[in-house]
Every structure is written in C-alpha cells, then in structure tokens.
C-alpha cells in the first residue's frame, strides 16, 4: 500500500496558495481539500493495490510538484479489478480470453516444451527404442529405469502416480509425435530455378525429433552437389555448403521455433542459388536484434537441453558464430539471417560461381550458331565432368536422353574447343578436363 496522508502534504498545498496570493482562501478551502485528497487516496489504493502482480511506483518531489512514475512492467500481463486491458492508441480495451492467452504466449510466460500432454496416453505411445537410442547418444547408463530417466530429463511428470508426457517428451520419445503435435513436422522442398514456381521434389518428415533432423539432413545431402573446388577441379567428399552449417541451421530451427504457433512448420527450401531454412517465431522475448549471435536465449529450454545432452547442440550461444566461421573458412558468403514473425537462415550455394565460369568457357569456345539449349547441355556436361572427375559417351547419351550421334557431336565440340580429352582404354576410358580448360576456369 502507498502511504498518502493529507497532513504530510498540507504544507505543500498551502505554499502553492501563498505563491498565488490566495493565502486567505486556503483556510476556506482546507476542509474541502482534505476531503478531496482523502477521496483521491482511496481511489489510488483501490486501483493500485489490487493490481496483480504488484506494480512498481516511483515518487519524486521537485519543489511543489509531486512526480509519479510507473515504469513498464516486466511481468506482463497485469490484472486489475476489471480484468485485463490492452492499450490500443488512446484507448484501453478489455481483453477476451483468447486474446489473454495469445498475449501470455507472446510474452514467453508459457513454456510449450514443459507443458503436460494430457491428451496422450503414455503407455500407448512410449517407445523403448527411442529411450535406448537417447541413452546411447548421451552416454547414460543402460541400467537406469526408463521411467525414472524420463522424469529426471523433464520428459515425463508424475500425476496421481501415473507417468504423463510433457510436450518435449512427446517430441523425443513417442511414436509419430505429429499425431498429437502436427506443427512439429518439417517440410523440405526443392524448386527449379530461384523462385517458388516449379516444385521438383517435396517431402514431409514427421517422426521423432531426432529422426526428423537426420531425415532432413539426408534430404539436403541428396539434393546438394559435392563441392566443386576451383583450385583443382576435382570431386570432393565435402558438399557445396558445409554440412555442419546445414545441421546447425536445422537443429536451430527445431530447437527455437514457436511450437505454440500451430499453423506453421519448419521449412527447408532448396533453390538453384540458395538454401533457406525457416521456422515460426522470431527472436525470443528479451533478445534484442543487436544482441543476436552474441547471447543465447532459448524459447524452449527443455528441448534445447535434450538436444545438448545428445550432442546436437554443443554449447548454448556458439551456433551462429560457428556457422559464420565455417562458411568463412570454406571461402563462402556468410549466412543471412532475418527475424520478424519467422526466423530464417539463407545460405548461398557454392556451385553458382562454377556454373557461371563453365557457361562463359563454353560460350567463348563454341560457334555462335550453336543453339542456347545445346550450349546449356554442353555446360552441364562439363559440370558433370568436374563433379564426377570424368564422363563416358554412354553416360552423356543416357543422362541427357539424346541419340548417340548427338552425344558424339557434343564430345567433338568440346574436344575441338580444347576443353576435354579422352583417357584410358577405348572401351572403359572417359573424357576429362584438359589443362587448358582448367586454366580458363581458374581465370
């Protein structure tokens, strides 16, 4: 309760009358002033003492002026006797139940991963195999009883002596978690070109969280090229985008997404020139844009902890710097991050620079009368030679679905241009890049 007493403020009020030359009027008004002051005090107490949680009020007196400051609260929402209100412009509007729930979720006062999944029967969805896999990945003793382990991990809570999954437990240790949490699905899409117009491949992954991560990484590996290193123009075991960066981005998406947003899912989109990995939910409440990448603040601490235990998250706060450093060491552009209602990571694909160099080499080497479609096929054949360290005549015929004569014409054009040469026995040999072609591409 805030202590406000008229006699403590009477002198201040009287001096105000004096300064206005109304000292005689003060004695007449005094009784009314005291009554009004006490009424104001009662209103103050009635309103502020019934606000929950308690509001911090700062009072400061400067000469004859009393300044009242009420800083923005850190424990929103605050309830008064009339309910919850939201300031909209110059008005305060009473909030409905759905609006209150949305507001509390937005303020991060509800932890999705720690909530109990009351609609799920533990015994019907619990997977012993997934628990055993978790023990193995986290180097936990196999002798620990599964139920006790899940309780200690926060994946299960006991209610009336019965185990009850938390949402995090559903994601990690249940069969087909998207049956109960459909928003936990990851959708992977491959587009033709650089726009969302033509879909080449699409897959939805809806298993437990760990399996879904691994399936997503496998999808990325299947649709990305092996690294095309311009220094030696040989095939490498690395991918055009370092897998550690892609894995970090996928894990980040599932660990930090807003699972309370049930109408959206994690998306992995592969374009000709880039890969975009996005998830619903921008930066967590309390993390400023200028602090992004410097500090760690997770929206789902229990999910993050379980991922950390099995080595999918190394150390909180190190993921973004590690992604940037890995791309820098690979000589690639840094990932681009954006965060509004969604959080997205965009990584440029390495092979675009090689594509451009190959296309320029073909355009400079072949006759101008050669059609654009043939030029594109010749460039693609050269890219295949770089990626696979060679190509056969029959492979050209089958890969591009052309007649043997057309394949022979392609080879002749590239040989006449000094871009490829044949090595090995006539029946088992292959076409590779010439030293001249390597020099042109290096330039």
Q: What is the DSSP string of 67-88?
A: EEE-PPPSS---BBTTB-EEEE
pLDDT tens track for 246-267: 999 999 999 999 998 888 999 9
Which segment, 95-104, 195-204, 289-298, is predicted with the most confidence on average?
A: 195-204
Query: How confident is residue 127, by pLDDT bands cut at 50, 70 and 90?
Result: very high
**Bridge pairing between strands 266-270 and 186-192:** parallel
Query: How confident is residue 48, by pLDDT bands cut at 50, 70 and 90?
Result: low
C-alpha atoms less than 13 angstroms from C-alpha of 42 in its C-beta half-sphere: 6
Least confident of 89-103, 157-171, 309-323: 89-103
Residue 281: the pLDDT is: 85
CA distance 202 to 242: 22
Q: Where in the chain is CATH 1.10.10.10?
A: 352-442
Instruction: Compare 33 and 428 and report the one with higher pLDDT.
Output: 428
Residue 229 has pLDDT above 60, yes or no: no
Residue 32 has pLDDT above 90, yes or no: no
Residue 2 has pLDDT above 50, yes or no: no
Residue 28 has pLDDT above 60, yes or no: yes
**C-alpha triplet 348, 248, 279: angle, nearest 5°:** 80
Residue 51: the pLDDT is: 74
Q: Give 352-442's CATH code, choosing from 1.10.357.10, 3.40.50.720, 3.40.1710.10, 1.10.10.10.
A: 1.10.10.10
CA distance 389 to 261: 47
Residue 45 has pLDDT above 70, yes or no: no
Helix H or strand E encompassing 92: strand 91-94
Give the residue ranges of DSSP H helices in 107-165.
Answer: 122-125, 128-137, 146-153
C-alpha atoms less than 13 angstroms from C-alpha of 209 in its C-beta half-sphere: 29
Mean local confidence (pLDDT), 21-31: 74
Least confident of 47-56, 247-256, 421-430: 47-56
Query: How confident is residue 77, by pLDDT bands cut at 50, 70 and 90?
Result: low
As given in the structure block, the two tokens for residue 417 are: 């241009």
Query: How confident is residue 23, by pLDDT bands cut at 50, 70 and 90?
Result: confident
CA distance 219 to 200: 13
Query: How confident is residue 307, by pLDDT bands cut at 50, 70 and 90?
Result: very high
CATH of domain 183-349: 3.30.565.60
Instruction: Compare 66 and 205 and report the one with higher pLDDT.
Output: 205
Which segment, 95-99, 204-208, 373-377, is predicted with the most confidence on average?
A: 204-208
Residue 299: the pLDDT is: 84
Which residue bears the tokens 């928003």? 183
pTM of the model: 0.64
220 Cβ contact partners less than 8 Å away, ≥ 6 residues apart: 188, 243, 246, 250, 268, 270, 275
SS3 376: helix
Cα separations in angstroms, 51 against 81, 91, 107, 213, 228? 7, 19, 18, 45, 64
Mean local confidence (pLDDT), 352-381: 81
Residue 196: the pLDDT is: 93
Mean local confidence (pLDDT), 53-81: 69
Q: Are 233 and 433 in contact (CB under 8 A)?
A: yes
Least confident of 13-17, 98-102, 150-154: 98-102
Mean pLDDT (the chain) is: 83
Q: Are 321 and 294 in contact (CB under 8 A)?
A: no
Q: Are 421 and 438 in contact (CB under 8 A)?
A: no
Mean local confidence (pLDDT), 94-122: 77
CA distance 432 to 233: 11
C-alpha atoms less than 13 angstroms from C-alpha of 263 in its C-beta half-sphere: 1
Q: Where in the chain is CATH 3.30.565.60?
A: 183-349
Residue 412 has pLDDT above 70, yes or no: yes
Residue 3: the pLDDT is: 47
Q: Which stretches of 298-376 are assigned E, i.e. beta strand?
A: 336-339, 342-348
Q: Are 152 and 192 in contact (CB under 8 A)?
A: no
Residue 43 has pLDDT above 80, yes or no: no
Give the residue ranges of DSSP H helices in 138-274.
Answer: 146-153, 167-173, 209-223, 243-256
CA distance 386 to 379: 11
Mean local confidence (pLDDT), 240-244: 90
- Percent of the chain scoring above 70 in pLDDT: 82
Least confident of 28-42, 214-228, 336-350, 358-372: 28-42
Mean local confidence (pLDDT), 287-293: 74
């Amino acid at each position: 309760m805030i202590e406000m007493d008229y006699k403590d403020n009477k002198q201040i009020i009287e001096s105000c009358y004096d300064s206005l030359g109304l000292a005689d009027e003060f004695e007449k008004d005094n009784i009314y002033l005291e009554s009004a002051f006490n009424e104001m005090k009662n209103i103050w107490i009635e309103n502020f003492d019934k606000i929950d949680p308690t509001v911090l009020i700062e009072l400061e007196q400067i000469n004859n002026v009393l300044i009242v400051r009420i800083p923005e609260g850190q424990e929103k929402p605050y309830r008064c006797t009339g309910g919850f209100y939201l300031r909209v412009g110059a008005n305060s509007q009473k909030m409905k139940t759905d609006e209150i729930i949305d507001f509390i979720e937005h303020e991060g006062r509800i932890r999705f991963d720690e909530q109990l999944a009351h609609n799920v029967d533990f015994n019907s969805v619990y997977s012993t195999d997934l628990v055993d896999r978790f023990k193995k990945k986290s180097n936990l003793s196999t002798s620990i009883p599964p139920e006790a382990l899940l309780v200690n991990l926060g994946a299960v809570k006991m209610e009336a002596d019965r185990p009850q999954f938390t949402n995090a437990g559903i994601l990690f240790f249940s069969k087909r978690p998207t049956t109960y949490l459909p928003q936990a699905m990851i959708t992977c899409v491959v587009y033709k070109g650089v726009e969302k117009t033509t879909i080449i491949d699409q897959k939805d992954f809806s298993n437990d969280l760990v399996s879904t991560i691994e399936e997503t990484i496998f999808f990325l590996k299947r649709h990305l090229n092996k690294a095309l290193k311009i220094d030696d123009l040989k095939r490498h075991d690395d991918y055009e985008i370092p897998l550690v960066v892609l894995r970090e981005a996928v894990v980040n998406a599932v660990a930090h997404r807003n699972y309370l947003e049930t109408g959206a899912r994690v998306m992995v989109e592969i374009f000709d020139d880039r890969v975009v990995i996005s998830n619903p939910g921008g930066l967590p409440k309390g993390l400023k844009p200028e602090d992004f990448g410097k500090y760690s603040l997770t929206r789902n601490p229990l999910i993050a902890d379980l991922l950390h235990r099995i080595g999918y998250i190394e150390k909180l706060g190190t993921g973004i710097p590690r992604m940037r450093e890995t791309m820098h060491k690979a000589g690639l552009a840094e990932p681009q991050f954006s965060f509004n209602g969604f959080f997205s990571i965009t990584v440029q694909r390495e092979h675009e620079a090689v594509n451009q160099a190959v296309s320029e080499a073909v355009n400079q080497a072949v006759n101008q009368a050669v059609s654009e479609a043939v030029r594109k096929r010749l460039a693609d054949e050269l890219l295949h030679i770089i990626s696979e360290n060679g190509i056969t005549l029959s492979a050209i015929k089958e890969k591009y679905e052309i007649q043997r004569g057309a394949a022979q014409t392609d080879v002749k054009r590239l040989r006449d241009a000094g871009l490829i040469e044949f090595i090995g026995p006539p029946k088992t040999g292959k076409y590779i890049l010439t030293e001249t072609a390597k020099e042109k591409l290096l330039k």
